[in-house]
Amino acid sequence: MDRQIRILAIDDEETMLRIISRSLEHEHCVVETFSNATDAIIRLKNGDPVDIVITDLMLPDADGFRIVEEARDVDRNILVIVITAYSSVETAVKAIKSGAYDFIPKPIDPEHIALVVRRAAETRSLKLENIGLKRQLKGLPDAGEIIGSSHAMRQVFSMIEKVKDTDGTVLLIGESGVGKELVARAIHYGSRRSQRSFIAINCGALPDDLLESELFGYEKGAFTGAVNRKTGLFETADGGTVFLDEVSSISPMMQVKLLRFLQERTFMRLGGKETIGVDVRIIAATNEYLKDAVDRGAFRKDLYYRLNVIPIEIPPLRERKEDIPLLNKHFIRKFSFKMEKKISGINEDAEELLKRYKWEGNVRELENVIERAITITDDDVISAEDLPAEIKTESEQLPVSAAVYPTNLTLFDMERLHIADVLKSVNGNKSKAARILGIDYSTLLRKLKSTGIEL
């Protein structure tokens, strides 16, 4: 076995649980034991992922068939092995038909249990590998990468569900490293366009001429070096989705061309005369509020309104630190499996340091930190010693003013002064000010208007 297999063993006889545990102690397994179905089902639904369940068919509060159903509801790839004293052919057939992987009669043979579990683990591994390969072939993201139970992330998940089956242009707003492309992929692969292309392009990484030729394509002879016709990304993605990352970085000239395409859904290849129409959904992403860029004169207002049809703001990690333990578990599982190391978790001191850190690189930075820790640790649990020095020494400091306000001010006046102070500390950047104040951008704009603050 390439990694530890997590097993739940359920039996109301303590002797049977001990036999099962001892039978598997040399099989690279982690065995959790339960004496009733209720506790085991709660564990299945709320704990770490499970690979195999071994259950007695006759339990005091349920039968083994109920366990099979609950396991399949949690993960259809969990394998359930049923053990019973009633070793009739009819019972065995019923267990297998209900979805059980295998059937073992009592009295059980420790060597036989080990053999069946070994075979089940290999089957489970093949199932997961097959799922991963299919996902790669389809270009699907790992759904587990978009992780969070915080209120902010539940709002993001809700918006994905609402917009995925529409054709409206989506604008993803969030700092670098928050997972904007993952959200874009989740929208595409959850939509009716999922069988067609998802194409991502980083607009900020390409100069104008190259970006234009990538998006629209060109005809043979359109410029020096154009020895053959090139199909552009909009044409290639016909029926699918194009993800325009860092859209705020495109030049005024390209903004005009993109606006024209969004208005008409037609274009001409460079050097071409034929007008080409396509059915493409656009998902754009930016690490700054485009309204700020519009106010500075750096982004066209009409293009902003074309892109800002369905805005989704993805919160930075520092604003959803309650998700850090979930992310830690995911990344530990991911890299432990990849590196074939037995890392069971992270200790409290290390996790507390991660919660206090400022995470300017967001989820991507946390992923890198966990990967590094798993690489260098000599233990089976990540500790503070495995973390980078900056995480152990830096405390989060927000760029707010240390001004002390007179105590005779009204609440309205104190709020007005504090907002003005924060804006001054970030040189008038309303996006940063909103994050520091703990309010969304639109709320800040309303407060600026109501308090009469002028920048």
Distance in angstroms (rounded) separating the CA atoms of residues 281 and 237: 9
Which pLDDT value is given to residue 395?
A: 42
Q: Are 108 and 238 contained in the same domain?
A: no
pLDDT tens-digit readout, 264-293: 999 999 999 999 999 999 999 999 889 989
Residue 415: give the domain boundaries: 411-451
Is 259 part of any domain? yes
Is 402 part of any domain? no
Among residues 290, 313, 336, the one where a domain terminates is 313
Question: Of 191, 186, 322, 298, whose CA–CA distance to 248 is shortest?
Answer: 298
Number of domains into which the chain is organized: 4
* Residues 402 and 418: beta-carbon distance below 8 Å: no
pLDDT tens-digit readout, 65-106: 889 888 888 888 899 999 877 556 677 677 777 788 888 888
Q: Which two tokens stand for residue 291?
A: 């309204």
Distance in angstroms (rounded) separating the CA atoms of residues 169 and 281: 6
DSSP conformation letters of 246-276: TGGGS-HHHHHHHHHHHHHSEE--BT----E
Is 203 part of any domain? yes
Is 145 part of any domain? no
* Residues 379 and 345: beta-carbon distance below 8 Å: no
Distance in angstroms (rounded) separating the CA atoms of residues 101 and 83: 11
Which pLDDT value is given to residue 143?
A: 44
Distance in angstroms (rounded) separating the CA atoms of residues 293 and 315: 20
Distance in angstroms (rounded) separating the CA atoms of residues 428 and 420: 9
Which pLDDT value is given to residue 416?
A: 83
Query: Rounded to the nearest 5°, which phi and psi values hold at 320?
Result: -145, 50
Is 441 part of any domain? yes
Q: Are 329 and 290 contained in the same domain?
A: no
Distance in angstroms (rounded) separating the CA atoms of residues 151 and 146: 14
CATH code for the domain in which residue 434 is found: 1.10.10.60
Q: Are 328 and 419 contained in the same domain?
A: no
Distance in angstroms (rounded) separating the CA atoms of residues 128 and 122: 10
Q: Are 338 and 430 contained in the same domain?
A: no
How many CA atoms lie less than 13 Å away from 366 in the CB half-sphere?
Answer: 32
DSSP conformation letters of 103-172: EEESSPPHHHHHHHHHHHHHHHHHHHHHHHHHHHHHT---GGGS---SHHHHHHHHHHHHHTTS---EEE
* Residues 235 and 278: beta-carbon distance below 8 Å: yes
Question: Of 265, 264, 310, 260, whose CA–CA distance to 283 is shortest?
Answer: 310
Q: Are 77 and 187 contained in the same domain?
A: no
Sign of CA dihedral 192, 197, 202, 208: negative
Question: Of 430, 435, 432, whose CA–CA distance to 445 is shortest?
Answer: 430
pTM: 0.59
Distance in angstroms (rounded) separating the CA atoms of residues 266 and 356: 49
CATH code for the domain in which residue 333 is found: 1.10.8.60
Query: Rounded to the nearest 5°, which phi and psi values hold at 27?
Result: -105, 20
134 confidence band (pLDDT: 50, 70, 90): low
DSSP 41: H
* Residues 42 and 132: beta-carbon distance below 8 Å: no
Q: Are 221 and 197 contained in the same domain?
A: yes
Query: Rounded to the nearest 5°, which phi and psi values hold at 29?
Result: -120, 155
pLDDT at 396 over 60: no
Among residues 138, 172, 203, the one where a domain terminates is 138
Residue range 177-184: average pLDDT?
A: 93
Q: Are 308 and 172 contained in the same domain?
A: yes
Q: Are 306 and 324 contained in the same domain?
A: no
